[in-house]
Amino acid sequence: MVRSHVLICGGTGCTSSKSPAIKAAMEAEIAKQGIADEVSVVMTGCFGLCALGPIMIIYPEGTFYSKVTEDDVAEIVSEHLVKGRVVTRLVYDETLKDGEILSLNETGFYKKQHRVALRNCGVINPEIIDEYIGTDGYQALGKVITEMKPQDVIDIIKESGLRGRGGGGFPTGTKWQFAANSVSDKKYVVCNADEGDPGAFMDRSILEGDPHAVLEAMAIAGYAIGADEGYIYVRAEYPIAVKRLQIAISQAREYGLLGKNIFGTDFNFDIQLRLGAGAFVCGEETALLTSIEGNRGEPRPRPPFPAVKGLFGQPTIINNVETYANIAQIILKGPQWFSSMGTEKSKGTKVFALGGKITNTGLVEIPMGTTLREIIEDIGGGVPNGKKFKAAQTGGPSGGCIPASLIDTPIDYDNLLAIGSMMGSGGLIVMDEDTCMVDLAKFFLEFTVDESCGKCAPCRIGTTRLLEILEKITNGQGEMEDLDKLEELANYIKSASLCGLGQTAPNPVLSTLRYFRDEYVAHIKEKRCPAGVCKKLISYEIIADKCKGCTACARVCPVGAISGKVKEPHVIDKSKCIKCGACIEKCKFDAITKK
Partner 1 sequence: MKSLAELAAIRDKMKGKVGIRADHDDDTRIVVGMATCGIAAGARPVLNAFVELAAKHTEKHVSVTQTGCIGICQYEPVVEVMEPGKDKVTYVKMTAEKAAEVFEKHICGGKVVTEYTIGTAHK
Neighbours of 115 (CB within 10 A): 18
Q: What is the 3-state secondary structure (H, E, C) of 395-414?
A: CHHHCEEEEHHHCCCECCHH
Q: Which stretch, 126-134, 236-244, 285-293, 586-594, contacts partner 1 (CB under 8 A)?
A: 126-134
Q: How far is the CB of 84 from partner 1 (least distance, A)?
A: 3
Given a contact cutoff of 8 angstroms between Cβ atoms, the answer to whether 26 and 6 are in contact is yes
Of 153 and 423, which has the nearer Cβ to partner 1? 153
Min dist CB 40 to partner 1, Å, is 8
Of 20, 31, 38, 181, which lies in the binding site for partner 1, with binding defined by CB under 8 A? 38
Instruction: Single out the segment in contact with partner 1 by CB under 8 A; choices: 123-131, 191-199, 207-215, 485-493.
Output: 123-131
Cβ closest to partner 1, residue 135 vs residue 409: 135
Cα–Cα distance measured from residue 160 to residue 178, given in angstroms and rounded to the nearest whole number:
17
Question: Which of 124, 225 has the CB closer to partner 1?
Answer: 124
Is 59 in a helix, a strand, or coil? Answer: strand
Q: From the list 16, 69, 105, 477, which residue makes contact with partner 1 (rule: CB under 8 A)?
A: 105
Identify the CA nearest to 189 among candidates 224, 143, 159.
224
Tell me the closest approach of the beta carbon of residue 151 to partner 1, in angstroms: 21
> Is residue 323 within 8 Å of residue 191, measured between CB atoms?
no
- The reply on whether position 495 binds partner 1 by CB under 8 A is no
CA 72 to chain centre: 30
User: Can the peptide bond before residue 410 be classed as cis, meaning omega within 30 degrees of 0?
Assistant: no
Supply the minimum distance, in Å, between the C-beta of residue 143 and partner 1.
8
The residues, any chain, with a CB within 8 Å of residue 187's CB and separated by 6 or more, are 179, 225, 226, 227, 228, 314, 315, 316
Write down the least CB distance from residue 382 to partner 1, Å: 25
Count of residues interacting with partner 1 (CB under 8 A): 37
CB closer to partner 1 out of 1 and 183: 1
Q: For the CB of residue 323, give the shortest distance to partner 1 in the complex, in Å.
A: 24
* Three-state DSSP class for residue 299: coil
Question: By three-state DSSP, how is residue 579 classified?
Answer: coil
Question: x/- string (CB under 8 A) for partner 1, residues 257-286?
Answer: x-----xx----------------------
By CB under 8 A, what part of segment 238-257 binds partner 1?
Answer: 255-257
Q: Tell me how far, at minimum, the Cβ of 12 lies from partner 1, in Å.
A: 21
The DSSP code for 348 is S
Question: Going by C-beta distance under 8 Å and a sequence separation of 6 or more, which residues neighbour residue 36?
Answer: 27, 30
CA 346 to chain centre: 19
Interacting positions 131-150 with partner 1 (CB under 8 A):
131, 133-139, 142, 146
Is residue 491 within 8 Å of residue 420, measured between CB atoms?
no
Q: Site for partner 1 (CB under 8 A): which residue of 2, 266, 405, 545?
A: 2
Least distance to partner 1 from the beta carbon of 29, Å?
17
Q: Which residues of 209-237 are buried (b: 16+ CB within 10 A; e: fewer)?
A: bbbbbbbbbbbbbbbbbbbbbbbbbbbee
3-state secondary structure of 470: helix
**How does strand 229-235 pair with strand 188-193?**
parallel
The amino acid that residue 357 corresponds to is K
Q: How far apart are CA 210 and CA 48, in angstroms?
A: 13
Q: 255 or 443: whose CB is closer to partner 1?
A: 255
* CB of 263 or CB of 443, closer to partner 1: 263
**Residue 130 touches partner 1, criterion: CB under 8 A:** yes
Task: Give residues 63-102 in contact with partner 1 (rule: CB under 8 A).
Answer: 82-85
Beta carbon of residue 262, minimum distance to partner 1 (angstroms, whole number) = 8
Shortest spacing between CB 560 and partner 1, in angstroms: 59
Our CB check for partner 1 shows the closer of 83 and 588 to be: 83
Helix (H) or strand (E) holding 474: helix 457-474
Q: Is there binding between residue 29 and partner 1 (CB under 8 A)?
A: no
CA angle 90, 93, 96 (to 5 degrees): 100
CA 507 to chain centre: 19
Instruction: Identify which of residues 61 and 414 has a Cβ nearer to partner 1 in the complex.
Output: 61
Window 362-391: residues binding partner 1 (CB under 8 A): none
Q: Taking the complex as a whole, how short is the minimal distance between the CB of residue 56 and partner 1, in angstroms?
A: 13
Q: Point out which residues bind partner 1 (CB under 8 A).
A: 1-3, 5, 7, 38, 40, 57, 59-62, 82-85, 103-105, 123-124, 130-131, 133-139, 142, 146, 255-257, 263-264
